[in-house]
């Protein structure tokens, strides 16, 4: 199977005729070829976007909204096809792709299709100066959206939908590791009546295609989700070109558990927040801090639950933990597990799993490591796999210090029924998102993004629409 670029409403081979192998991680075998698009392909996409911009930016909110909602409906109609494709490409349980990934991609289009009809600007009367100000929020023009492999269509559409809703034309690149659902999206956009050239989807490596997008002088804003090192590279390139940047980067999120929490709910959610999607969600709580008074109880119960998780082929209904996304990523996680052996004690897991019927697949046991310090490598570096650490704490001050002692600041989860403590810690935790007595509950209107090395800027709701528009104030003297 050959994946193609979607440029000007048509499916195209890359100009370079350079192709990459695309793997099915459940089997460890190649099942498709992906274009490795060059600067020439990006030029073509930009030309198409330039041609489409004037008309799209002048299309009424109602019409844009109707098209985006139609895309959402078509994604829902083709839920099974998209979920199967996502699971095959990424290794995630099909059950998860059906319940989360594809429905959320559809919600992204529906949400921003609706949100744009409510988007308004401000006016300020300068009383005493006999002047009136009004603020315009105009589409930027051509914008670049670059996304990672962990929630492929979910994160791809999280960027594309608001960019289109705001009236921009888009050059979008999914991860070269999981290109398939982005490829399938092209047909849906045509069927929904999105004018050609408004959305262009190009495939390829970060170092070639991604770089060409970031460097292109006509692409005026970049919304990027991915690793912190890549974010640094993109910022270095984009800053001297004065591009607007939104960077959603890595995390090393604390999960803080006090003894007054609702224990059963916390336990069940902590298994999910540790291992959902094989732990490959930027919001997973990978550093678990437990109040000393319930530490031993938690440790026993948590290990028991983790042992019950079923590792298996992503398409099997009973599978809790599917395949790791790629061989390279599996090797990276195994290297961290080796480091963990010198820094702490592996309480459960730690091994690659060979499943006889698909013995070349990339399977790994969910792994729990006990550590006695937050300073160790495995508590400081992002592993981004089914690996969590456990550590007891004595006081609120101690745990706050450890939670914040990280280069990252994406999310934090807090388990307690003490209201004052909730307020104190929520105020002081250095994280863009704090969940109290829940995890991954997302309201798309809320701001989303990280502090410190976890990113710059916020997306979600009006924040996304503001990012994808340029602001102009008009002051009229009367």
Q: How far is the CB of 15 from ligand NAD (least distance, A)?
A: 18
β partners of residue 408? 452
Q: How far is the CB of 29 from ligand NAD (least distance, A)?
A: 21
Q: How far is the CB of 215 from ligand NAD (least distance, A)?
A: 9
Whose CB is nearest to ligand NAD?
206
* Residue 248 annotated as catalytic: yes
Q: How far is the CB of 361 from ligand NAD (least distance, A)?
A: 19
User: Of 255, 283, 454, 280, whose CA–CA distance to 383 is shortest?
Assistant: 280
Look at the alpha carbons of 55, 57, 62, 64 in this order and tell me if their dihedral is positive or negative. Answer: positive
Written as one string, the DSSP assignment of 251-302 is --EEEEE-TTS-HHHHHHHHHHHHHGGGG-STT-EEEEEEEHHHHHHHHHHH
User: Of 48, 449, 91, whose CA–CA distance to 279 is shortest?
Assistant: 91
β partners of residue 10? 7
Distances (CA, A) of 429 to 107, 138, 398, 408, 441: 30, 35, 12, 11, 18
Options 282, 376, 382, 463, the catalytic residue: 282
Tell me how far apart the alpha carbons of residues 256 and 254 are, in angstroms, rounded to a whole number.
6
Options 84, 86, 176, 248, the catalytic residue: 248
Interface positions with ligand NAD (CB under 6 A): 146-150, 155, 173, 175-176, 205-207, 210-211, 214, 225-227, 230, 233-234, 248-251, 282, 382, 384, 410, 450, 454-455
Q: Is 247 helix (H, G, I), strand (E, B) or coil?
A: strand
Closest CB to ligand NAD among residues 84, 248: 248
β partners of residue 471? 137
Closest CB to ligand NAD among residues 24, 150: 150
What are the backbone angles phi and psi of residue 347, rounded to the nearest 5°? -85, -35
Q: How far is the CB of 319 from ligand NAD (least distance, A)?
A: 22
What are the backbone angles phi and psi of residue 420, rounded to the nearest 5°? -65, -40
Closest CB to ligand NAD among residues 366, 449: 449
Closest CB to ligand NAD among residues 389, 416: 389
User: Of 253, 276, 270, whose CA–CA distance to 385 is shortest?
Assistant: 276
Element (H, E) at 201: strand 199-201
Closest CB to ligand NAD among residues 150, 413: 150
Q: How far is the CB of 280 from ligand NAD (least distance, A)?
A: 8
- Go through 406-421 and write b for each residue having 16 or more CB atoms within 10 A of its CB, e for each that does not: bebbbbbbbbbeeeeb
Tell me how far apart the alpha carbons of residues 468 and 458 are, in angstroms, rounded to a whole number.
11
Q: How far is the CB of 248 from ligand NAD (least distance, A)?
A: 3
Closest CB to ligand NAD among residues 83, 410: 410
Closest CB to ligand NAD among residues 246, 469: 246
Catalytic residues: 248, 282
């Amino acid at each position: 199977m050959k994946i193609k670029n979607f440029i000007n409403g048509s499916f195209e081979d890359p100009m370079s005729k350079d192709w990459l192998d695309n793997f099915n991680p459940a089997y460890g075998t190649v099942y498709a070829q992906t274009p490795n698009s060059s600067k020439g392909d990006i030029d073509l996409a930009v030309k198409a976007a330039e041609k489409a911009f004037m008309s799209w930016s002048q299309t009424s909110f109602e019409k844009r909204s109707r098209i985006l909602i139609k895309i959402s409906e078509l994604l829902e109609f083709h839920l099974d096809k998209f979920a199967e494709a996502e699971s095959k490409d990424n290794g995630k349980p099909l059950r998860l792709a059906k319940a989360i990934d594809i429905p959320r991609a559809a919600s992204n289009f529906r949400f921003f299709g609706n949100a744009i009809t409510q988007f308004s600007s401000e006016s300020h009367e300068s009383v005493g100066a006999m002047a009136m100000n009004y603020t315009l929020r105009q589409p930027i023009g051509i914008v670049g959206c670059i996304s990672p492999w962990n929630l492929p269509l979910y994160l791809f559409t999280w960027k594309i939908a608001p960019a289109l809703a705001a009236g921009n034309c888009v050059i979008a690149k999914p991860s070269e590791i999981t290109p398939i659902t982005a490829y399938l999206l092209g047909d849906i956009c045509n069927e929904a009546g999105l004018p050609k050239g408004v959305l262009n989807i190009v495939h390829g490596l970060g170092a070639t295609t991604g770089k060409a997008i970031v460097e292109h002088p006509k692409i005026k804003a970049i919304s990027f989700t991915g690793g912190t090192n890549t974010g640094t590279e993109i910022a270095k390139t984009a800053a001297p070109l004065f591009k607007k940047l939104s960077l959603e980067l890595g995390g090393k999120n604390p999960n803080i558990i006090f003894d007054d929490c609702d224990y059963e709910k916390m336990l069940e959610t902590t298994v999910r927040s540790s291992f959902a999607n094989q732990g490959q969600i930027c919001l997973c709580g990978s550093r678990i801090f437990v109040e000393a008074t319930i530490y031993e109880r938690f440790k026993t119960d948590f290990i028991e639950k983790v042992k019950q998780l079923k590792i298996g082929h992503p398409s099997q209904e009973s599978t809790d933990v599917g395949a790791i996304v790629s061989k390279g990523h599996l090797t990276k996680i195994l290297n961290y597990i080796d480091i963990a052996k010198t820094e702490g004690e592996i309480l459960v897991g730690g091994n690659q799993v060979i499943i006889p019927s698909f013995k070349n697949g990339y399977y790994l046991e969910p792994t729990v490591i006990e550590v006695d310090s937050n300073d160790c490598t495995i508590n400081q570096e992002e592993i981004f796999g089914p690996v969590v650490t456990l550590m007891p704490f004595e006081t609120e001050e101690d745990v706050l210090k450890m939670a914040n002692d990280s280069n990252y600041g994406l999310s934090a989860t807090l388990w307690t029924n003490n209201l004052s403590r909730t307020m104190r810690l929520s105020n002081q935790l250095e994280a863009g998102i704090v969940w109290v007595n829940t995890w991954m509950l997302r309201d798309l209107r809320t701001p989303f993004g990280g502090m410190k090395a976890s990113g710059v800027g916020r997306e979600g709701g009006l924040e996304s629409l503001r990012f994808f528009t340029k602001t102009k104030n008009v002051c009229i003297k009367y």
